[in-house]
Chain A
């Protein structure tokens, strides 16, 4: 237009510079807010650091101390209980509710109560369930009133029962949203193959096993993947209900990290636990998703 001509190669280079310049803000945000903290945490995990002065390099000492600590192993056990519990109970129950109600008339009214609990924050769930589960609390009173066993149980005080009942409280909140996600998945399955299967006599368990379950797989992968990651970093509900106690009997890895970094001001050890937790979460998520999303994978 201006009469000057630009060689195609030169024009391409110029476009690239423009594109890079526009991309720079986003790259900076990611680098400053995501990569930098991760790298900094990784470095600190090899130091002894109380948040003041300069970190002192101690090599792998924090990691050695971490794995030698029986409390860390309790924390690891509890975190595994959370992973297994979260995947089996809220996800399993969510799937069951979805399958039973997705094509039912007025099914939404059955699912709605489960979904309401999702609007409550985990901390509020923890506080409310603490009232229910504390010694002589709501649950014990109901059991006693009906003459049922268990009224004397110290739900939040004895391990591993305290972790198990907290998983129950978590399931109370999470089941609804899992059911909703599964319903969305079920409703997006094409009708034709299902009707063909039904005409061929498939119903009940057979219909679920051979038709619904395989066709639901992409969504199941997402739901289980999210539950896996969420359970590995369980923090808020335990903090609200037991603070990881009594003693450290219901502590999870996320609480151990918090305790070391922010209660003891041992930022080196806190960072070591954080890095361990991040690596475990990353490996678990990647391994699971790769396996599930592989086209050759068969159920």
Chain B
């Protein structure tokens, strides 16, 4: 009898063990995403490949603040997004994590999950560490959330040898750019890179922003329709450019930096982070490649629209090391942090005081801040996620088989109407 009783107890004990295993640890000492000490902040990002650059900044912050980053990188953006969303339902909320501006950030703020950074922004603007214009992209209902992780401008990269071979100078007007493309096509050289994977929106963004920046902004906020005449005109211009043979094969999966290096294409409309990628294939800035600001399509515009992108670093409102993480976020915007970060990445910085080693990028960093340019947020961040997903699919189909743009625009508009009606 005692043996049988013991067997029952043993069985229940085994069940308890299973439940305990499912339950996990009660609490580790510092409790935040594997951070090992209060001087180490748990940091999550979907930019796993940027680990060396983040760790370079972490080395500097260790001296400056006594704080380091406990890095966890995801290389798959969708998986990362699901992980971060789920982490808010656990006790392991991230001290610092990279995210997206726009609707993705609004989702988190609506649930009170992100710590506000209004004071940090005001201080950084007062100290000249960040242009005031950037603040609106981090503002929801009058409060700021997160700080900018990086900044990049979208410009036109070109292979200097191909330009020299065809005696082409950097275009300063849209007509000159078109003339350069015609000249290249006549010589059997493909002018522009284009892809149907992820970055299928790039030329839509360039043509619409360069033609009518107000319409570009209105489209992002749901105040304009994708089927408006202005948008249709832009799509038709894009189609004509395809018909003239301006674009490379959108299905070519060769990396853009390799295509530019090999001369498969003469120019690439891309973010300034391409500089780092070009350097990685042994191209030298100013010698093998260079870039210019894409001229405005509509010559009547007073300013030249310049697309920029920025991604935020955020702090969870209920993170274990919330205050230290906010201290780190504040430091991230300083000249010291941004000089290290931008040079490690081979990119520009949002901080105009950052000392950029690459002369071309440094010059762009200065020029972008002048009155001649109107900064417009990249389409990818400016567009709500469900609309963006539909748009990327439709632009992908359009660049693969350029034809009547209306069915594509109607599909995107249907998604946009569904999204904006949900927003009330």
Contacts and interface: CB of A to CB of B under 8 A. Distances in A.
Contacts of A266: 386
B7 A245 contact: no
Given A18-B7, A28-B19, A265 B81 contact: yes
Interface string A229-272: 00000000000000101111100000000110111111000000
B397 A247 contact: yes
Interface string B1-26: 10010011111101101110010000
Given A18-B4, A264-B386, A245 B393 contact: yes
Contacts of B85: 50-52, 265
B37 to A, nearest CB: 30
B11 A246 contact: no
B14 A22 contact: yes
A252 to B, nearest CB: 15
Q: Which bucket holds chain A's interface residue count?
A: 35 or more
Contacts of A67: none
B251 A156 contact: yes
Nearest to B108: A52
Given A50-B107, A52-B108, A264 B15 contact: no
Given A53-B110, A245-B396, A247-B400, A264 B385 contact: yes
A262 B252 contact: no
Interface residues of B, number: 43
Given A15-B4, A246-B400, A263 B78 contact: yes
A77 interface: no
Given A15-B4, A157-B251, A246 B108 contact: no
A41 interface: no
Chain B at the A interface: SS class = helix
23 contacts: A4-B1, A14-B4, A17-B8, A18-B4, A18-B8, A21-B9, A22-B7, A22-B10, A23-B11, A24-B15, A25-B17, A52-B85, A52-B108, A52-B113, A134-B251, A154-B251, A156-B251, A246-B251, A246-B399, A248-B397, A263-B389, A264-B386, A265-B81
Interface of B: 1, 4, 7-12, 14-15, 17-19, 22, 78-79, 81-82, 85-86, 88, 107-108, 110-111, 113, 196-197, 249-253, 385-386, 389, 393-394, 396-397, 399-401
Given A18-B11, A265-B85, 13 more contacts: A2-B1, A21-B8, A22-B14, A23-B11, A134-B253, A135-B252, A154-B400, A156-B251, A158-B401, A245-B197, A262-B81, A265-B81, A265-B385
Interface of A: 2, 4, 6, 14-15, 17-18, 20-25, 28-29, 32, 50-53, 130-131, 134-136, 154, 156-158, 243, 245-249, 258-259, 261-266
